[in-house]
Structures are given as structure tokens and as C-alpha cells.
Amino acid sequence: MTLLRALNTLRRDAANMALHSLGLKRSSSRNKNAGNPANLSRSNPRRTISPVVAGLMPYPMKVIGVARETTDAVSLTLARQDGLPIDFKPGMFFTLVLNINNQEYRRAYSISSASHLNTTATVTIKRVAGGTVSNWINDNVHANDTLRVLGPSGSFVVPTNPTSTRHLLLVGGGSGITPLMSITRSVLTLAPQSQIHLFYGNRGVDDIIFREALDQLMHEHHDRLVVTHVLEKSPQDWSGMTGRLDRQTFAALLDLLQEKTSMNLLEVYTCGPEPMMNGVEAELLARGFPRQRFHQEKFTPSITAADAARFGPQEIEIRYEGQSWVTKSNVGQTLLEAGLAGGAPMQFSCALGGCGRCRVKIIEGKADMPEPNCLMPDEKAQGFALACIAHACSRVTLEIDPPKT
């Protein structure tokens, strides 16, 4: 049984157990909408589905708009079928659960729209060379289609306090602009005393996602938003920066920025190709920039442990909000699979080690986690692990990392 199929089975079983404990039951209807959360019948009308249980089940969203951003990137505007608002913070993502050629795929895509326009949410997807899902979405998703989603999720978020006077430095490359666009749109409206500098790298002019939208935002907020484009291949009439947005280029741009804004005021958010983010991080740390004011979003699927079967049965204790569950992992099971089988309210989204939703903290024992993955070095040093790819090597006690609110 594949990992995703096993996760689906475990998630369904865990959801059924949780629903039963809450006084809920699934409708026995067998029609095509039977999987819709709207088909849950209540045995106790005053009991509601908890956020934890709801997070385990994909729910339907309708595609109400499709916009071509570039030849390789498309934006999908989504709305809940029940008409409720979509509660998300700028920088969060959805995980799309898609069936392509009878195989289920999960991919995390950041929200690019402003958080206060919460009757809809827009995700922007750029083609990946050879990518099954990104290419399928670009070619096959149309208005009025229905997609299954998990989320919104993520800790790469910016508070939008209307009284804050923040100085944000956003550094993006390619499709990494997506969460940064949501941050930009939200902060400019909801935090009118905050300022934003955006460094944005692309191959060429035609690859700039949201080019016109960024120009319009700069025009409307000329005193609060500055966008610096960096192009690897620039046209002859190009007046901006040329080259790759690497550590050297970032350092030069940072020097120019420091002439107007002190580094002591900056908070940095970066998303894009890993070499770019590594260069930004290295340069900032070399200058003594506090790590707690540096944030990066990674969607890096982990390799699959080819020898997962070498991990034998282990007892696992799971703690969450004052409760605990004790279960045992079967041969080859991840912490996530074992936890779901034991009825624990495990958090997860992409199930690939690429989004961080399933982060847990190992309190006792040892767990093996393959590389690469999206955890930061300091997170690993503090004992955090990704439950969807980590295997217990001994008896393990772990604590579920609650979703950021």
C-alpha cells in the first residue's frame, strides 16, 4: 500500500473515530456528494466539528475564476461551497488534493490574495519542468470546477496590526512571490503605518508574475512600497538590476537599502529557490542580523526513505493540549501514520515533508527523518521533526505542535 493510500485510510478511520466521539456521524447517502462535509448529520445539534477533526478532511472549494499571470503561471480564485468566509493570514497556503490518472497527489500552494478579501482566496501555480501536478493544473483546471483542499495552513505569516510601524523586507524569486504578494496586499491595506521593500528575481521580463499588479500597488502606495526587480536576462531598455538574485546581489541591494533604513528596523521574509534563500540567510547572519527576525518559506518535498521497513514496531506516546495517546508503530510506519491509527489529532497537509504542517517535538526517544526537508536548522536543534516522514527508532514521546492562530 502506498504512503498516500495508507494515509487516506488512516485519516478516514481517525476522522470517523473523532466524529463518533463528538456525537456526529456520516450521512449514509451514496450520491456523488457523499464526501462533502455538508453531508454530516448531527446526533447532537449543539456539538460541532473541532478544527482538528476538520483539518483531517479535504473539503470542496469552487473555482470561480482563472487568470493567466504569465505563459507558465495561472491564478485560481476559490470560494467555499457553503458561502462562509475563508479565514487565513497573509503568507498561508492551501494543499490541493488532486486525482490525476487515478492517483492522488497533494501539493501545497500559497495564497496570493489579500487576507481581508476573505470571501475568496487565490492560489497561484507556476509550471515546474516535468511536474505532474503543476502542469496538469495549468492545462486542465477551469472556472466552475471543484477542487478538494486542506487548510489554510502555515506559519510563514505576517501580523497585520493597524497600529504597527513595521519595516518589512521581502525577498522572492520566481513563484516564491506568491505568499509575498498576499503579505504585500494585506499589509498595505491593514497596516497603514508599515513599509515594504520587495526584492524580486526572475529570468526575464515575461517571467515576472504579478508585474502589472505590483506596478499598480507601487503607484497607489509610492511612499510605502518599493519594488526592485532583478533579471537574469534583461532587455536593452532595462533600467533595473541585472543578474541572479544570489548572495552577492542581495548584499549589494541591502547596502543600498541601509542608506535609508536601519537593519535594526527590518524584518525579513523570503520565499523562492533554495540557493537564493540560502544566500539571503548567509548574508544576513554574517551581518549579525537576529535569526528571530528572519523568516523563510520552503516547499521542499523530502526524499522517501527506501529502507523504511528497517524501522520496527515502537511504542509512541503523543501529547496534545493536556491529553495523551499511547500507540505502537507497525513496521515502516511514520509517526504520522502511527498517530492517526491511534486516534491522535495529528496535524498534516502535504504529507511529503515539504510544508511543515505536521511538525512535532520529540520529548523523549529518537526518530529518524530523511533529508532534505523544510525544517530550519534551529528547529531540528530544538528537537522538532516532521511526523509525515519521521520514523521511531526507539520508544518516542512527542508533542503535537499546535497550528498557528
User: How confident is the model at residue 68, as a pLDDT?
Assistant: 97
Q: In this structure, are 292 and 228 located in the same domain? A: yes
Task: Flag whether 47 is in a domain.
Answer: no
Q: In the numeric block, which cell numbers belong to residue 204?
A: 526575464
Cis peptide bond N-terminal to 90, omega within 30: no
- The C-alpha cell of 165 is what? 510601524
Q: Give the span between the Cα atoms of 323 and 184, in whole angstroms.
A: 39
pLDDT digits (tens, 9 = 90+) for 60-99: 999 999 999 999 999 999 999 999 999 999 999 998 999 9
Residue 354 clears pLDDT 80, i.e. is over it: no
Residue 300 has what pLDDT?
58
**Per-residue pLDDT, 15:** 45
Say which CATH number the domain at 384 has: 3.10.20.30
Which one, of 140, 142, 137, lies nearest residue 126 by Cα?
137
- The residues, ordered by sequence, that sit 6+ positions from 399 with a Cβ below 8 Å of its Cβ are 318, 319, 320, 360, 361, 363
Does 18 fall in a domain?
Answer: no
Q: Is 179 helix (H, G, I), strand (E, B) or coil?
A: helix
Q: How distant is the alpha carbon of residue 346 from its chain centre?
A: 17
Contact by Cβ (8 Å): 386, 329: no
Radius of gyration of the CA atoms of the chain, in A:
22
Encode pLDDT of 191-219 as tens digits. Answer: 999 999 999 999 999 999 999 999 999 99
Instruction: Report residue 403's pLDDT band, with 50, 70 and 90 as the boundaries.
Output: low
DSSP string, 27-76: ----STTTTSGGGEEESSTT----HHHHHTS-EEEEEEEEEEEETTEEEE
Enumerate the β-bridge partners of residue 325: 318
Mean pLDDT of 31-59: 42
Domain boundary among 154, 186, 214: 154
Q: Does any domain span residue 162?
A: no
| pLDDT value, residue 103 | 86
> What would the pLDDT profile of 117-145 be if each residue is shown by its tens digit?
999 999 999 999 888 999 999 999 999 99
* CA distances (Å), origin 152, targets 98, 275, 379: 16, 27, 22
Q: Do residues 272 and 361 share a domain?
A: no
**Domains of the chain: total:** 3
CA dihedral 328, 332, 333, 335 (to 10 degrees): 90
Q: Tell me the CA distances in angstroms from 147 to 127, 131, 133, one per residue in order.
A: 18, 19, 13
What pLDDT is recorded for position 308?
A: 67
Helix (H) or strand (E) holding 124: strand 121-126
**Alpha carbon distance 347, 369 (integer Å):** 17
For 281, the domain range is 167-297
The average pLDDT across 283-300 equals 90
More confident residue, 268 or 402: 268
How far apart (Å, rounded) are the C-alpha atoms in residues 87 and 117? Answer: 10
Question: Which ranges of 209-301 does DSSP label H, i.e. alpha helix?
Answer: 211-220, 247-258, 274-286
- Chain-wide mean pLDDT for the chain? 84
Query: Which of 273, 297, 321 is at the close of a domain?
Result: 297
Q: Do 247 and 283 belong to one domain? A: yes
Band of pLDDT at residue 105, cut at 50, 70 and 90: confident
16 assigned to some structural domain: no
The b/e string for 389-403 (b: 16+ C-beta within 10 A; e otherwise) is bbbbeeebbbbbbeb
> In this structure, are 262 and 314 located in the same domain?
no
Q: Are residues 228 and 116 in the same domain?
A: no
Residue 231: inside a domain: yes
Residues 6+ apart with CB under 8 A from 111: 88, 90, 91, 92, 93, 94, 121, 122, 123, 152, 178, 179, 182
pLDDT > 80? residue 372? no
Q: Indicate the Cα dihedral angle 323, 327, 332, 335, nearest 10°.
A: 0
Q: Which of 21-25, 157-161, 272-276 has the lowest mean pLDDT?
A: 21-25
pTM of the predicted protein model: 0.74
Please choose, from the candidates 125, 120, 98, the residue with its C-alpha nearest in 3D space to the C-alpha of residue 110. Answer: 125
Q: What is the pLDDT of residues 297-347, one digit of tens each?
A: 876 554 444 466 678 899 999 999 999 999 999 888 899 989 988 999 998
Last residue of a domain, one of 154, 180, 202: 154
314 and 285 assigned to the same domain: no
Query: CATH no. for residue 131?
Result: 2.40.30.10
Asked if 210 contacts 112 with a C-beta cutoff of 8 angstroms, the reply is: yes
